[in-house]
């Protein structure tokens, strides 16, 4: 049987029985999704890679506690969500204390890593969306990223977050409205700036 | 379905989370309401933008770095050892303390008897044991006297309260922990 045909639970059993090399199958299966989720939350590509690595190490440590009747994707995204939120809280704390001490950080806590695309127009648009996404409240951001980027159903989002379906529906709806409004406002403002420059 | 309700449900409709009947109702409304249709189109545009966002792929050494990290992690069973060692050390200290106490006294350590700490408590207990007849008002009088040393000063007063008078004993003998035999 090839690795692709093995179910998540079969791979986990194999890892728990001692062949830790099989954990690499799970890494290949989920790394892109995990990095995308973290990147959406942090708006920092390099940090997303680093947090994702820690997430996989944590998943490995917690494999003995995974109950096989549950969805493995829900299990790993729960870990990814918690670790990303911890990182965001630490960042907020750093900003708070640096402001309290009247010091500016050498490096902005939320770095906008350059988008790795050759088209400048797309890069600009990506950055605009990423910035606005970063400004959404955390719960709205989590729900929207899980829905839009990872294409999870409301039921799957419920398994990951523990929120009720009506709450998820409201969070996603509000996130979309807010994002739309912010982007429109930003475009309007940049239009005013261009007009002022032309004058 | 009115416009307000349609706007609330548009996102779930887009996410294909509505029932067939709800979807039909929404589509019927949008067929006749231009404002809601415009809202639907702008929502679609936003989600298309979000979907086109370039997503980062894992770095080339991503997987190998994690696998190297796994190798440096100690096995679960070995990680239990430090906590086991701490528990054993605590247990040893406790047992040796117990044995030392036993060897010093020649018998197992007992819980010390609680000592009476206030003068009013001395009076209350004496009354409860039948040694004294003390009025409640008298107890109140002494309730402010906190120190046992005050017992000495009030000895004369106490001797008047003792009914019947106790030969060769004073309340201080109770305070110091001596057993009083009637």
CA B182 – CA B177 distance, rounded (Å): 15
pLDDT the model gives residue A28: 92
Residue that wins the pLDDT comparison between B98 and A162: A162
Q: Which residue of A has its CA nearest to B53?
A: A126
- Cβ distance of B15 and A154 shorter than 8 Å: yes
pLDDT the model gives residue B72: 75
By CB atoms closer than 10 A (0-12, 13-18, 19+), residue B84 is exposed
Mean pLDDT of chain A: 83
By CB atoms closer than 10 A (0-12, 13-18, 19+), residue A33 is buried
Residue that wins the pLDDT comparison between B20 and B148: B20
The 3-class SS string of B30-92 reads: HHHCHHHHHHHHHHHHHHHHHHCCCCCCCCCCHHHHHHHHHHHCCCHHHHCHHHHHHHHHHHH
Confidence of residue A34 (pLDDT cuts 50, 70, 90): very high
Q: Which residue of A has its CA nearest to B16?
A: A153
Asked if B73 is an interface residue toward chain A (Cβ–Cβ < 8 A), one would say yes
- Cβ distance of B54 and A183 shorter than 8 Å: no
For B153, the token pair is: 């000063």
List phi, psi (to 5°) of A115.
Answer: -70, 130
Q: Are A128 and A81 in contact (CB under 8 A)?
A: no
| B132 strand-pairing partners | B162
- Cβ distance of A21 and B63 shorter than 8 Å: no
H or E element in which residue B10 lies: helix B3-14
Residue among A49, A117, A147 whose CB faces B58 most closely? A49
Residue that wins the pLDDT comparison between A95 and A48: A48
pLDDT in tens, B152-177: 555 556 555 555 544 444 444 444 44
- Cβ distance of B70 and A23 shorter than 8 Å: yes
By CB atoms closer than 10 A (0-12, 13-18, 19+), residue A13 is middle
pLDDT in tens, A137-186: 999 999 999 998 888 999 999 999 999 999 999 999 999 999 989 888 88
Confidence of residue A7 (pLDDT cuts 50, 70, 90): confident
pLDDT the model gives residue A193: 63
Asked if B60 is an interface residue toward chain A (Cβ–Cβ < 8 A), one would say no
């Amino acid at each position: 049987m090839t690795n692709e045909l093995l179910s998540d639970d079969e791979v986990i059993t194999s890892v728990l029985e001692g062949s830790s090399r099989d954990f690499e199958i799970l890494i290949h299966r989920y790394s892109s999704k995990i990095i995308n989720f973290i990147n959406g939350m942090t708006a920092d590509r390099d940090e997303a890679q680093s947090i994702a690595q820690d997430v996989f190490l944590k998943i490995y440590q917690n494999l003995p506690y995974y109950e096989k009747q549950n969805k493995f994707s829900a299990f790993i995204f729960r870990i990814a969500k918690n670790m990303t939120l911890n990182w965001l809280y630490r960042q907020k704390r750093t900003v708070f204390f640096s402001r309290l001490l009247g010091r500016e950080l050498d490096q902005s806590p939320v770095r906008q890593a350059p988008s790795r695309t050759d088209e400048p127009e797309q890069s600009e648009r990506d950055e605009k969306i990423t910035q606005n996404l970063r400004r959404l409240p955390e719960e709205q951001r989590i729900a929207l990223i899980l829905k839009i980027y990872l294409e999870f159903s409301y039921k799957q989002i419920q398994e990951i977050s523990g929120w009720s379906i009506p709450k998820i529906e409201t969070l996603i709806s509000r996130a979309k409205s807010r994002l739309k409004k912010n982007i429109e406002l930003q475009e309007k403002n940049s239009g005013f700036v261009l007009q002022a420059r032309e004058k | 379905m009115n416009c307000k309700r349609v706007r609330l449900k548009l996102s779930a409709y887009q996410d294909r989370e509505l029932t067939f009947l709800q979807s039909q109702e929404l589509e019927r409304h949008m067929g006749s309401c231009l404002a809601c249709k415009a809202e639907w189109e702008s929502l679609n545009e936003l989600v298309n933008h979000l979907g086109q966002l370039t997503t980062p792929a894992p770095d080339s050494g991503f997987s190998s770095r994690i696998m190297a990290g796994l190798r440096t992690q100690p096995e679960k069973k070995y990680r239990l050892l430090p906590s086991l060692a701490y528990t054993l050390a605590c247990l040893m200290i406790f047992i040796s303390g117990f044995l030392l106490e036993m060897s010093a006294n020649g018998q197992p350590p007992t819980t010390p008897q609680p000592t009476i700490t206030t003068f009013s408590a001395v009076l209350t207990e004496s009354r409860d044991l039948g040694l004294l007849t003390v009025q409640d008002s008298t107890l109140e009088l002494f309730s402010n006297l906190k120190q046992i040393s005050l017992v000495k000063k009030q000895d004369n007063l106490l001797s008047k309260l003792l009914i019947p008078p106790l030969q060769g004993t004073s309340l201080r003998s109770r305070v110091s922990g001596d057993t009083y035999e009637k």
